[in-house]
Structure formats: structure tokens, C-alpha cells
């Protein structure tokens, strides 16, 4: 399947997270993104070096600027379970706006056409690194990395596009 491109609609799918009452929740991506400007930040894995030290921190540090430019929500999505995503989110005590969502089965990642086989590294099927800007479910920016690169999917690239 070809990766999602500019002009395409975000596919429907469900992601998972723990709410403030520590209850596991399932949410439709369409419910999260309809009539909103959102950034989807895809990462190969929670706690992995590039994701944890560069990619995600960039969005946390730029969240207020992104919001000032009209972004309603910022979601980090990984093919990890919601328990791992909850633990990873807790490592960013300065985070006020970025939400961490689990795509445990990788079904949403596959629907985006962004799966990445990292079996040779012992990680199995994961997500390519990406940043997607969507407005009312329509993709406006689709910055997708090749392999393990981190060159086009940072917060700075989304800020430039706004």
C-alpha cells in the first residue's frame, strides 16, 4: 500500500490510551480529527533513542507555537501497547499538550501505508517515522522518513508549513 499523501483523507481507525482516571480508552481517529487541525507524529517505537531524544521532544517544545499557528491537537502514535505509551508519556514531565496514543496491533499504521518491518532488529512490524498535518481529516502535509532517518518529520518542518 502506498503511503498516505497530501490531499488524501485520514483513514478511520481506533487508537488507545489511558485517561486521567487511569481507564483504558479506545477512540476513533475521525472523532479526534474531524473539524480540527491536527498533527499526527508517527514513531517506530516508544523509548527508542531518536524518538525519545529528538522527534517527540521537538513537538513537546514546539507545542505552544504550533497551537498559536492554529493546530488544535498533537498526537504521538506508535505501534506499542497503551501501557508502554502511558509510561513513555510520563517521562516528559514538561509536556502539556501532546497526547500519546497506542496502535498496538499496527492496524492504523497499516491503513496509513506507513508500516516498517524492523524484524531484523528484533522489533517486528512498526511504523515509519512521520509527521502529518491534517485539517478536518484532509492531509495537508505528509512528511515521511525513509528507514531510520530523521530529516523531514520534525516539528520545525510542520511549523514551516503552517
**Which residues are bridge partners to 38 per DSSP?**
73, 134
Q: Does residue 119 surpass a pLDDT of 70?
A: no
pLDDT digits (tens, 9 = 90+) for 67-80: 999 999 999 999 99
What amino acid positions are annotated as catalytic residues?
A: 51
**Residue closest to 130 by CA, chosen among 22, 33, 41:** 41
Measured CA to CA in angstroms, residue 36 lies from 42, 43, 88, 136, 150 at distances of: 18, 22, 26, 5, 26
Q: Report long-range pairs for 26-29 (Cβ below 8 Å, ≥24 apart).
A: 27/101, 29/108
The CA-CA-CA angle for residues 13, 69, 99, to 5°, reads 40
For the entire predicted model, the pTM comes to 0.95
pLDDT average, residue stretch 141-148: 92
pLDDT digits (tens, 9 = 90+) for 88-106: 999 999 999 999 999 999 9
Cell of 117: 518491518
Q: What is the pLDDT of residue 22?
A: 93
Domains of the chain: 14-161 (3.40.30.10)
> What's the mean pLDDT when you consider all of the chain?
94
Who's near 133: CB < 8 A, 6+ residues apart?
37, 38, 39, 71, 139, 140, 141, 158, 161, 162
Amino acid at each position: 500500500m502506498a503511503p498516505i499523501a497530501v490531499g488524501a483523507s485520514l483513514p478511520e481507525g481506533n487508537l488507545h490510551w489511558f485517561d486521567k482516571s487511569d481507564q483504558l480508552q479506545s477512540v476513533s481517529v475521525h472523532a479526534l480529527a474531524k473539524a480540527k487541525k491536527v498533527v499526527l507524529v508517527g514513531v517506530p517505537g516508544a523509548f527508542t533513542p531518536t524518538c525519545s531524544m529528538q522527534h517527540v521532544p521537538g513537538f513537546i517544545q514546539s507545542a505552544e507555537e504550533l497551537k498559536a499557528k492554529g493546530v488544535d491537537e498533537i498526537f504521538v502514535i506508535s505501534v506499542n501497547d497503551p501501557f508502554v505509551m502511558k509510561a513513555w508519556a510520563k517521562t516528559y514531565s514538561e509536556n502539556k499538550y501532546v497526547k500519546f496514543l497506542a496502535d498496538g496491533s499496527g492496524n492504523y499504521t497499516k491503513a496509513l501505508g506507513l508500516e516498517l518491518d524492523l524484524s531484523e532488529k528484533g522489533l517486528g512490524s512498526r511504523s515509519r517515522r512521520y509527521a502529518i498535518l491534517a485539517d478536518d481529516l484532509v492531509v495537508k502535509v505528509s512528511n515521511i522518513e525513509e528507514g531510520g532517518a530523521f530529516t523531514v518529520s520534525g516539528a520545525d518542518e510542520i511549523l514551516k508549513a503552517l
